[in-house]
Amino acid sequence: MTDMIVGEETRKIEASLEELRGLVTERAMTGETMLLNMGPHHPSTHGVLRLLLELDGEEIVTCLPDVGFLHTGIEKNIEDKTYEKGVTLTDRMDYLSPMSNNMVFCMAIEKLVDLDVPERGQVIRVICLELSRIASHLVWLGTQAIDLGAMSVFLYCFREREKILDMFEMLSGQRMMGSYFRPGGVWRDLRPEFLPALEAFLEDFPRRVDDYEALLTKNPIWLDRTQGIGIIEPDMALALGLSGASLRGSGVNWDIRKATPYSGYEKYQFNVPLGEHGDVYDRFLCRIYEMRECMKIIRQAVDNLPDGAFRSDDRKFVPPPRRELGQSMEAVIHHFKLWTEGFSAPDEEVYVAIESPRGEIGCYLHGTGGNKPRRVRFKTPSFMHIQALEHMAPGHFIADLVAMIGSVDIVLGDCDR
């Protein structure tokens, strides 16, 4: 308990130890171990994560993550909007890969109202998803490296990410929060300048990944800091609900793109990298190799990009293109109906999950029969991964905790929604 002098009177400003009884060991009650607050403004907590640490010397005895600082009520807000308007809010959850959030929400809507996406729309979606996977992994790699003291990797990663954001700007007019995916396809077709930019990126990027690997993969300091740290056994990883590369680092072969393909992922040839030891280093390798696999998928998608519609032409759900409005009364009616009232979805529930860069992001969508959802819930990988820190941290040093936080790849906006 801390005493703070405010003017003349003394006030107790911190929570009492009693509140933590049962959560920390008895040794903390007597003052034998130290309680230390890490965050929510600590630079290596990747946002606003607060960790309450119980320390024996520098060794962690218990780690209690505290989240919710970035809770913005996105799920509640979507309940008050029509389906298509909700897409804009999903961008703001996992702000490092907004496309994955758009995707899972659009897929849930499409499943609920039974709407198909034309093939070109699906392939464009795959290109965008894989690009945002690379962009997200680049931020992860840069921040993980800077947390462990390798400054230059961070700068290199952000240089490459910039190119991807430029491409997103070409597509949607926005660098990050594009809301490019819409129910039934994507907002507009690929711009003419997009494919040349993508070709240049595909040409350049493999060399860059080699650079990162040259800097880190066999770097003895990097190995010292990451090998044998934060080991999580495959059984425990599954029971804790880990997913994505954090789970595959433990050797569990589960990639939703392979297991239950969506958006035509079954047509692409790619490998799913698996770790062996489940430590920070294996998770690092998994993500590095995943970036190379993303390149393969994008290559195949660009080569087989079909012509045709990029968005469904089901006028009950998809607004007509601008050019029809001057000629067709029916188009005007559909336009007006869809942008004011929106479309209705049945009073049923669906659950859709996709592989986001961080892991399984799921959307549980319950309609009302009307134009607004009854309940939207996002199962987000970061939420589960932060929970797992509680089980990974004990027995390690604080410096290693920083490596662990980076290795499970969390985004607090994704966690708190």
Partner 1 sequence: MQIPTPLDAVEHLKAQMPDAVDDVHIFRDETTIIILPENVPAVLRFLRDTPGLVYNYLSDISAVDYYPDYSRPARFGVSYHLYALLYSRRLRVKTFVDEDESIPTVTSIWPGANWLEREIIDMMGIPFADHPDPRRVLMPKDWDGHPHRRDYPLGYETVQFSFNIEEIMKHKPFAKE
The residue ranges that bind partner 1 (CB under 8 A) are 6-7, 23, 67-68, 71, 73, 75-77, 80, 111-112, 114, 236, 238-242, 252, 254, 259-260, 348-351, 353, 360, 362, 364, 366, 368, 374-375, 377, 379, 383-384, 387-388, 391, 416-417
**Cβ distance to partner 1 smaller for residue 224 or 235:** 235
CB of 359 to partner 1, least distance (A): 11
CB of 336 to partner 1, least distance (A): 26
Q: Residue 67's closest CA among 46, 96, 36? A: 46
d(CA 161, CA 283): 20
Contact 48, 38 (CB under 8 A): no
3-state secondary structure of 176: coil
CB of 182 to partner 1, least distance (A): 20
Count Cα atoms within 13 angstroms, Cβ side, for 137: 27
CB of 71 to partner 1, least distance (A): 5
**Cβ distance to partner 1 smaller for residue 79 or 213:** 79
Q: Residue 344's closest CA among 50, 112, 122, 5? A: 112
CB of 83 to partner 1, least distance (A): 16
**Cβ distance to partner 1 smaller for residue 81 or 188:** 81
**Cβ distance to partner 1 smaller for residue 227 or 387:** 387
Contact 363, 104 (CB under 8 A): yes
CB of 376 to partner 1, least distance (A): 10
**Cβ distance to partner 1 smaller for residue 229 or 256:** 256
Q: Residue 407's closest CA among 271, 129, 216? A: 216
In sequence order, the 6+-apart residues with CB closer than 8 A to the CB of 373 are: 78, 79, 83, 86, 345, 365, 366, 367
**Cβ distance to partner 1 smaller for residue 334 or 372:** 372
CB of 11 to partner 1, least distance (A): 9
First to last CA, the chain: 32
**Cβ distance to partner 1 smaller for residue 65 or 142:** 65
Contact 377, 361 (CB under 8 A): no
